[in-house]
Each structure stands twice: as structure tokens, then as C-alpha cells.
């Protein structure tokens, strides 16, 4: 069987399908002979495919990704070489939007603290402090793509004023801000759901956090690289902002103790798309792309490069 490369642990359904048709190897176990034959990498949004790896694979034709993020992939090199990137866009939109709203509610209403209070039996000795109202806030969405729009629809049901920042103004019924700092200054809730890239690394910096203000909260369901994590810790410690709810981090799975120890955070382990139903659909898409490649047919979800 021809070799195929995986650079992450695979979804069980994807792994089972690949085992039927290929010899699965990893970057660590791959021989030079195998590298010369490999045409496909099976990956995820957390997978890494830098130029150094791509250079070892002269006949690579496709990277099949279970996820929508590909910031670990040298996309410029893929484009130059005509390597197709296949994503599982669309199917995880609702789950990510649901989690963003769940994180916001958990943070403002202090749900994790309340759970710990009851679970530990300490409710008999002390009460939980007051939380903050969710409805009627001013929400700023960073990145109004599919996920951003799905979040906006959900927040609209809470009677929130919806604004957004995006590199380009969209045809959407929400107020557009061309300047991220101005958006943050206008809002008390900032939700990050933009795609990660080298250009927007640490997009949420100390200046943006200062503009968000002492009553503001930050939610991130995109990528940890979009936030200056050191600046965020400092802002949380010093009361520059009120709190943060994060599903993603700069160096996952490592989360700095300085962030974990803060009382005004809600932290989850990158679970935005982690539902049985959505992961099943994502696996189906990955397998469909791989089957189409094997059959010499157009790849169903190949990324269309922008000029």
C-alpha cells in the first residue's frame, strides 16, 4: 500500500479509512523512500506542516485537514507548489458559536465558581458574589465570517448591540468598525473569531485591552495566537479588563500558570467543535476528500486561494 502521512492523532473514523488504503506513517517514522511517495498529509487544525516538512515531500499534492484552521501550515509554500488544502468549513460553525455564547454566560454569571461552591459543600459557609447581566451588552465581534455571523445571531437574541471589526466591511446589519481599538472602546464584550495568520498575530494587544476597559470582557474561540497572552494576563491582573473566557491558547496544551491562577477567567481545552455530531460530520468530509483524491475527482472542500 502507498504511504500516507499523519502529523496529528487522527479521528478514529479517518484512521480506520486510511488504514484500509494506505500505510500510515508519521514525520518521525517516515523514511526517505516513503517521503518520496507521499501525496497526502492527514492533519487537523492543530497540525503543523512547515516548509521544512513540505520540503521532505516532493510529490505532496494535498493536505486533508479535520478543522478550519491551517495556521500551522506554510500556506504560501502550498500555494506556490499547487498543494491543495482541504478543510471542514461550515459544519462546525454552530458548535463554535454555541460555545462562544456559553463561555460568555459562564464568565458573566460566574457559573464555574457557583458549581465549585455547591460541589465542594462550601455553599453552607459562604455565598457566591454577584455576577453581571448578559442581556443588553454591547458586543464587538472580531472577524465576521461564518462563525462571527452565527455568534451575532445568537447574541442578538439577548438584545445586544452588535458591532464588528473585519479587514473588509460586510453586507451585514451590524455597525462596522475599520479600527479594532475603536471597536473595543465602544463595546463591553469583545469576541474573537477571526482566522489566524502571520499578519494578525497578537491582534488583541495591550492597546485594544485598555480600550475595552475595566468593565469589559474578552472571549476567544479562534486561535491563541490572535491574543498577546502576556498583555492579557497583565490586563486581568491589574483590572484593565474585567475578565476573559478562553477556549484557545498561545502554546496549547500549555497554559501559563499566571493565567490559570486568575480568578476572573473561564478556561476550556479547545473544545469549540468537540461534539459527537460535528466531529462525525468533519470526519465524513475528510474521508470524502481523500476518496475523491484516490478516484482522481475534484476535491469537495479544497480551499480556493484568494488573489
CA 214 vs. chain centroid, Å, equals 26
Residues 6+ positions from 285 with CB-CB distance below 8 Å: 66, 86, 88, 91, 300, 301
Which of 23, 169, 215, 252 is the catalytic position?
A: 252
Burial of 164-189, coded b for 16+ CB within 10 Å and e otherwise, reads bbbeeeeeeebeebeebbebbbebbb
121: left (phi over 0), alpha (psi -120 to 50) or beta: left
Q: Please, which residues have CB within 8 angstroms of residue 177's CB and are 6 or more apart in sequence?
A: 140, 163, 164, 165, 183, 186
Whether the Cβ atoms of residue 37 and residue 1 lie closer than 8 Å to each other: no
Nearest to 278 by CA among 23, 84, 90: 90
Is 169 a residue of the active site? no
CA atoms of 144 and 131, how far apart (whole Å): 28
Lookup result for grid cell 448591540: 161
Helix H or strand E encompassing 120 = helix 111-120
Residue 168: active-site member: no
Q: Which residue in the list 109, 132, 186, 270 is annotated as catalytic?
A: 270
In DSSP terms, which residues pair with 140 in a beta bridge? 163, 190
From 134, 140, 195, select the one nearest 165 (Cα to Cα): 140
Query: Is 223 a known active-site residue?
Result: yes
| DSSP state at residue 177 | E
Catalytic residues: 223, 252, 270
Amino acid at each position: 500500500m502507498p504511504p500516507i502521512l499523519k502529523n496529528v492523532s487522527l479521528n478514529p473514523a479517518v484512521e480506520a479509512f486510511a488504514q484500509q488504503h494506505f500505510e500510515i506513517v508519521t514525520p518521525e517514522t517516515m523514511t526517505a523512500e516513503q517521503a518520496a511517495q507521499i501525496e497526502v498529509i492527514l492533519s487537523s487544525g492543530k497540525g503543523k506542516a512547515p516548509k521544512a516538512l513540505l520540503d521532505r515531500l516532493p510529490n505532496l499534492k494535498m493536505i486533508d485537514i479535520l478543522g478550519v484552521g491551517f495556521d500551522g501550515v506554510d500556506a504560501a509554500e502550498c500555494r506556490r507548489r499547487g498543494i491543495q488544502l482541504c478543510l471542514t468549513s461550515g459544519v462546525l460553525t454552530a458548535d463554535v458559536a454555541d460555545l462562544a455564547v456559553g463561555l460568555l454566560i459562564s464568565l458573566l454569571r460566574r457559573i464555574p465558581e457557583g458549581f465549585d461552591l455547591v460541589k465542594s459543600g462550601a455553599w453552607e459557609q459562604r455565598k457566591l458574589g454577584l455576577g453581571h447581566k448578559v442581556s443588553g451588552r454591547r458586543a464587538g465581534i472580531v472577524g465576521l465570517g461564518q462563525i462571527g455571523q452565527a455568534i451575532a445571531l445568537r447574541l442578538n437574541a439577548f438584545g445586544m448591540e452588535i458591532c464588528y471589526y473585519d479587514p473588509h466591511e460586510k453586507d451585514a446589519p451590524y455597525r462596522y468598525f475599520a479600527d479594532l481599538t475603536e471597536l473595543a472602546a465602544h463595546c463591553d464584550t469583545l469576541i474573537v473569531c477571526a482566522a489566524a495568520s502571520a499578519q494578525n498575530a497578537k491582534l488583541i494587544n495591550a492597546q485594544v485591552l485598555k480600550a475595552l476597559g475595566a468593565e469589559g470582557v474578552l472571549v476567544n474561540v479562534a486561535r491563541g495566537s490572535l491574543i498577546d497572552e502576556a498583555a492579557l494576563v497583565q490586563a486581568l491582573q491589574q483590572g484593565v479588563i474585567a475578565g476573559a473566557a478562553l477556549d484557545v491558547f498561545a502554546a496549547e496544551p500549555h497554559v501559563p500558570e499566571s493565567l490559570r491562577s486568575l480568578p476572573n477567567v473561564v478556561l476550556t481545552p479547545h473544545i469549540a467543535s468537540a461534539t459527537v455530531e460535528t466531529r462525525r460530520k468533519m470526519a465524513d468530509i475528510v474521508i470524502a476528500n481523500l476518496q475523491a483524491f484516490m478516484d482522481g475527482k475534484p476535491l469537495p472542500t479544497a480551499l480556493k486561494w484568494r488573489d
